Amino acid sequence: MSDWQQLEKRYLFSTFKRQPVTLVRGQGVRVWDDQGREYLDFVAGIASVSLGHSHPVVVSALVEQAGVLAHVSNLVYSIPQLRLAQLLVENSCLDRVFFCNSGAEAIEGAIKLARKWGKEKREGAYEVICTDNAFHGRTLATVTASGTDKYKLPFAPLPPGFVHVPYNDVEAIRKATGAKTCAVLLEPIQGEGGVNVPRDDYLRQVRVWCDEAGILLILDEIQTGIGRTGSLFAYQQCGAEPDIMALAKGLAGGVPIGAFLAKEHCAAFAPGDHGSTFGGNPLCTHVGYCVLKYIIDNDIPGQVARKGQHLERRLRSLADRHPIVTDVRGRGLLWAIELAGELAEQAVGMCLEEGLIVNNVKPTALRLMPPLVVSEEELDRAVETIDRVLAKLEEEERERDA
């Protein structure tokens, strides 16, 4: 065990199950550990390092802005924040933006906005319909909105006003809607829940129901947004526009940022309703602006769609050849490989040994979410590594059964 791992044990809360590797450098899709060993990074800071490590756009935006003005309060105007807000609005169906520092904060703000709207426009409605297996963050409200008991029950009593229904089930949303409901909160594809892709018409039908019932649709695009699924936002492929949308992760290429956006009709905040010290500061929003502009100008979402089709073909061929693979699912550059049994942790360790960093999103599933700039050759190398690891796991199973 390296000294760094000893220090982690000594000084940090043990909240993360970390892989036994200390990364010290990155370039594109490649990262190096403190022993100089090279890896392909198919976790990308959990779908955050959208342009890859040390991308010149991110590096120069950071240096440029840090040398001019890194932080000012939201008590004054700041140009980078306004430029990023304008770029987001001009490239989405939403009208107004609030900037914060993380995904959880973006969802927390989205919930507050929906409650304020419910108070003013729906006779005090405050309840949010959420889905099983959802993940929306770790603050008290967002963990309550999430769909995994083990993340929330240790922190009870939890805030009231959240009801859960199965994902991919419009009828369940209809039945759960009542006079107290102000919004439905959904991920277009559930990321942390295991890359769960709903039926093609799910979001469209939820949208129709929200309109009929007079409630808001909040989309959590924190993992699916900013090009990850092959369009700038996943909703653009679903034929359903959100009233409120939350972003974070890839928006500034790995620099911490979050945002929620809303249509004018539900932009219910008044001065004093919400705030943040660091949210929208010049440093992070300048990087966000440069990253988003690069992603739009270079049609990175279009490239992701094409690379995603290539990856899908390679993964489906893996599934055909390996009985241990029971399903592959995803879109763009967000994929899961479902295994027959709780083998994902072992598979992740074996991939790491072979120089590939992937994530065990569930005990039974591996998740792939490389930087959006990954090449087809790098995708092929990763799939070949997984191919070898699956063969080894199958070999071990055969030996155990013999």
**Active site residue ranges:** 135, 220, 249
- Going by C-beta distance under 8 Å and a sequence separation of 6 or more, which residues neighbour residue 113? 98, 244, 260, 262, 266, 267, 268, 269, 274
**Smallest separation (angstroms) from ligand PLP to the CB of 245:** 12
Among 31, 107, 315, 357, binds ligand PLP (CB under 6 A): 107
Of the pair 41, 187, the CB lying nearest ligand PLP is at: 187
State the number of binding residues for ligand PLP (CB under 6 A). Answer: 15
Among residues 84 and 324, whose Cβ is nearest to ligand PLP?
84
Among 65, 92, 196, 223, binds ligand PLP (CB under 6 A): 223
Residue 222 Cβ vs ligand PLP, minimum distance, rounded to whole Å = 4
Stretch binding ligand PLP (CB under 6 A), from 77-85, 99-107, 160-168, 361-369: 99-107
What span, in angstroms and rounded, lies between the C-alpha atoms of 399 and 4?
Answer: 37
- The contact mask relative to ligand PLP for 34-73 (x = CB under 6 A, - = no) is ------------x---------------------------
Q: Which C-beta is closer to ligand PLP: that of 196 or that of 385?
A: 196
The least distance separating ligand PLP from the CB of residue 47, rounded to whole angstroms, comes to 7
User: Are 234 and 240 in contact, with CB atoms under 8 Å apart?
Assistant: no
Nearer Cβ to ligand PLP (190/385)? 190
Structure tokens at 280: 């929208």
Query: 97, 248, 251, 390: which one contacts ligand PLP (CB under 6 A)?
Result: 248
How far apart are CB 17 and ligand PLP at their closest, in Å? 15
| Beta carbon of residue 191, minimum distance to ligand PLP (angstroms, whole number) | 4
Determine the Cα–Cα distance for residues 78 and 285; give it in Å rounded to an integer: 10
Nearer to ligand PLP, 148 or 326 (CB): 148
Query: How far is it, in rounded angstroms, from Cα 72 to Cα 181?
Result: 38
Binding characters for ligand PLP, 113-142, by CB under 6 A (x = yes): ----------------------xxx-----
Q: Which two tokens stand for residue 383?
A: 């799939």
Which residue in 333, 365, 332, 335 sits closest to 348, CA to CA?
365
Subset of residues 145 to 204 that bind ligand PLP, contact rule: CB under 6 A: 187, 191-192
Q: Cα 319 vs. chain centroid, distance in angstroms?
A: 25
Rule CB under 6 A: is residue 104 a binding residue for ligand PLP?
Answer: yes
Residue among 102, 177, 285, 359 that touches ligand PLP (CB under 6 A): 102
DSSP of 357-374, one letter per residue?
E-EEEETTEEEE---TT-
HSE of 135, CA atoms in CB hemisphere, 13 A: 17
Sheet hosting strand 96-100, strand order edge to edge: 96-100, 258-262, 244-247, 216-220, 181-186, 127-131, 162-165
- Whether residue 293 contacts residue 86, with contact meaning beta carbons closer than 8 Å, is answered with no
The nearer residue to ligand PLP, 223 or 364, going by C-beta atoms, is: 223
The beta strands (E) that lie in 127-277 are given as: 127-131, 162-165, 181-186, 216-220, 244-247, 258-262
* Least CB distance to ligand PLP at residue 137 (A): 4
- Rounded to a whole number of angstroms, the minimum distance from the CB of residue 197 to ligand PLP is 14
Q: Is residue 103 a contact point for ligand PLP (CB under 6 A)?
A: yes
Q: Which is nearer to ligand PLP, 146 or 177 (CB)?
A: 146
Cβ-closest position to ligand PLP: 103
CA torsion 367→373→379→380, rounded to 10°? 180
Helix (H, G, I), strand (E, B) or coil at 131: strand
The single residue listed with the structure tokens 């100089």 is: 36
Q: Which of 260, 259, 263 is nearest to 243 (CA)?
A: 263
Positions that interact with ligand PLP (CB under 6 A): 46, 102-104, 107, 135-137, 187, 191-192, 220, 222-223, 248
